Amino acid sequence: MKKFGILLLAFTFIFTLHACGDDEDNGNGRTPTRNIVLTYADWGDQELNQMLIDAFMEENPNITVELRTDITGAGAAFTESLLNAQAAGVLPDVFAIDNVPTGYSNGMLLDISEYWDSDPDVEFIYPNIRDTAVYGDGRYAIPSFQFIRGIYMNLTLFDQYNIPIPDKDWTYDEFVQLSIDIRQAGINDSVFGIDPWFGALDFEAMWPTQDYEDVGYNTWDGEQFNFNTPMWIEAFEARLDLMAQDVVGSYTEEELADLGVAWPWFEGLIGMNIDGSWNLWMVDDMFDEYGIEVGFWPYPGGDAGQFPPTILDFNVVSSQTEHPEAAYELAKWMTFGKEGWLTRLDLMEQRGDLYLDRFPIADYPEVWAKAEDYIDYIEGVRESVELFDYSKPDVDKWLLGYKAFWEWVESDDNDYWTRINEGLITPQEFAPEWEEQINKMVNEALQD
């Protein structure tokens, strides 16, 4: 009897090992480890995240995914929370990150080249996005979404001042003239032409991309930045000139108090707002609260045509994960995977969502067909989406050395912005200094 009990225990142990092994096919051609537990974190819509995770687990019954809500904050604050989790040895297996170089330099990112290179679906990713977050021979992040940078148009204000609304295939020269027209028409009403991008007009980052087909974001050409060029200098001068004309929204606290407004754009005192698609919620809210009709026009083009500026987000696989292949599949599901996107759109329909504020980085016909109604909900969005083959994504979140350069520009030792705003230094003077410094910092970081 004792001998039989030992045999039974041994049989049970062997069976358990088989059940937890990695030699069983789950029906989709892969042979994942059984009974895996993964964790996931990002700063987005947690209700939708949980619904997507539940659907992923239905498709992959051998994997349990836990949504981590202890990684708090958004953007840079979220990255800081990740650094704390890394120090404690409890990084999520898959997570969003605001700055890939920060994660890379701190060793929190896994090189996923092995899985990416063998995944046929990556060929559906737009080519101008596919090669981001590659350092040397390694891939350390997956582009998750592309957000559109465009121009929110206060159509009610255009109508009020009898200013013709531009076509969607407009130019930045038209944009500048319209901003001046709006300011002149509305000056007695304290109306301005432009609400700028995060407080600044970054024409130098955008206009060269519209005038030259082979010029990337902020003149990045894949190897270096080209600030000391007429295209960059002239765009920077246009930025300074338009601000000097008092066209860009600028209110003192006293003026806002006298006007009785907290957010001049939202409450209808500015004609055009340079912003991202993540703020498409404003379109309904401005109409519901103030009766203001708003559209989201494509970013204006230039001599070479119209190339939508897009802003990328990224997901990564943790260097601490014990299940890298399964973690990659989860990351794909939550980012560019076709099945994940079709599921996302189904869940959005169930919730009654009306529009997309972020867009696929992969060109799946089935996904775009299913997204038709969401794209047409807000005027102007479709025109940007139809240009995605020509979009030019930013480098802000993935290019090594880029963030460090702007910290150098803003440092107390340099104090460039004060000198620029006070007219103490011109673009012709600082363009060569900036070009030399940014290329030095980026190239050194990439070599390291």
Q: Stretch 7-26: mean pLDDT, rounded? A: 39
Query: Which residue type is seen at 421?
Result: N
| Residues belonging to the chain | 448
- Residue 333 confidence (pLDDT): 98
In the predicted model, is pLDDT for residue 31 greater than 90? no
CA distance linking residue 336 with residue 292, whole number of Å: 35
In the predicted model, is pLDDT for residue 132 greater than 60? yes
Query: In sequence order, what are the residues at sequence separation of 6 or more whose Cβ sits closer than 8 angstroms to the Cβ of residue 167?
Result: none
Calculate the dihedral angle through the C-alpha atoms of 232, 235, 237, 243, rounding to the nearest 10 degrees. -140
Return the structure tokens found at 23: 């030699």
CA distance linking residue 414 with residue 407, whole number of Å: 10
Query: In sequence order, what are the residues at sequence separation of 6 or more whose Cβ sits closer than 8 angstroms to the Cβ of residue 184?
Result: none
Q: Write the pLDDT tens digit of every residue in 371-425.
A: 999 999 999 999 999 999 999 999 999 999 999 999 999 999 999 999 999 999 9
Average pLDDT score over the chain: 92
- Residue 34 confidence (pLDDT): 56
- Residue 448 confidence (pLDDT): 79
User: In a 3-state reduction of DSSP, which class is residue 310?
Assistant: strand
Q: Write the pLDDT tens digit of every residue in 185-215.
A: 999 999 999 999 888 899 999 999 999 999 9
Residue 410's φ and ψ, nearest 5 degrees, are: -90, 0
Q: Write the pLDDT tens digit of every residue in 232-282.
A: 999 999 999 999 999 999 999 999 999 999 999 999 999 999 999 999 999
Place of tokens 């994942």: 32
In the predicted model, is pLDDT for residue 140 greater than 80? yes
In the predicted model, is pLDDT for residue 62 greater than 70? yes
Return the structure tokens found at 304: 């070479």
CATH 3.40.190.10 location in the chain: 20-146+313-390, 148-309+419-432
Give me Rg for the CA atoms of the chain.
25
In the predicted model, is pLDDT for residue 5 greater than 80? no
Entry pTM: 0.90
Q: Stretch 275-298: mean pLDDT, rounded? A: 98
In the predicted model, is pLDDT for residue 435 greater than 50? yes
CA distance linking residue 267 with residue 348, whole number of Å: 29
Q: Which CATH class is domain 20-146+313-390?
A: alpha beta
Residue 146's φ and ψ, nearest 5 degrees, are: -115, 130
Confidence bin at 23 (pLDDT 50/70/90): very low
In the predicted model, is pLDDT for residue 10 greater than 70? no
- Residue 19 confidence (pLDDT): 39
Percent of the residues in the chain that have a pLDDT greater than 70, as a whole number: 92
Q: Among the residues of 335-396, which ranges form H helices?
A: 338-351, 365-370, 372-376, 381-385
- Residue 131 confidence (pLDDT): 87
Q: In Å, what is the CA distance from 347 to each residue of 18, 47, 55, 80?
A: 36, 10, 10, 31
Least confident residue range of 2-16, 166-180, 223-237: 2-16
By the 10 Å C-beta count (0-12 exposed, 13-18 middle, 19+ buried), 301 is classed as buried
* Fold of domain 148-309+419-432: D-Maltodextrin-Binding Protein; domain 2 (3.40.190)
Q: What sign results for the dihedral spanned by CA atoms 216, 220, 222, 228?
A: positive
The DSSP result for 27-73, as a single string, is SSS--PPSSEEEEEE-SS-HHHHHHHHHHHHHH-TTEEEEE--SS-S
